[in-house]
Amino acid sequence: MPRKQHNEEQIIAALKQYEAGDKTADICRKLGVSQATFYMWKKQYAGLGVQELRELRNLREENSRLKRIVADLTLDRQILQEVVSKKS
């Protein structure tokens, strides 16, 4: 069975429907997800609005970019230390 991808805006909209009083089973049926998935979304995205979610996504992307930079610089440093130790 193919995995459906729902973007964060759809997830937030579904959680707002739930808070408005719609039944979980109805929301899950409309989205084509299980109730377990819905409750996982509820746990993960509880209390977040669309703007906060976009900001969180941007921060995560920046964090992963910075981690890659640190890894590259660490590797460069190790290579340079090996070169210096071989010359002396």
- Which pTM does this prediction carry? 0.61
The better pLDDT of the pair 8, 82 is held by 82
What value does the mean pLDDT of the chain take? 89
State whether 30 and 70 are in the same domain. no
State whether 14 and 39 are in the same domain. yes
pLDDT tens column, 51-80: 888 888 899 999 999 999 999 999 999 999
State whether 13 and 41 are in the same domain. yes
Domain count, the chain: 2
For the cut 60, the answer to whether the pLDDT of residue 86 exceeds it is yes
| DSSP line for 3-64 | PP---HHHHHHHHHHHHHT--HHHHHHHHT--HHHHHHHHHHHTT--HHHHHHHHHHHHHHH
State whether 73 and 32 are in the same domain. no
Structural domain boundaries, residue 86: 57-88
pLDDT tens column, 33-45: 999 999 999 998 8
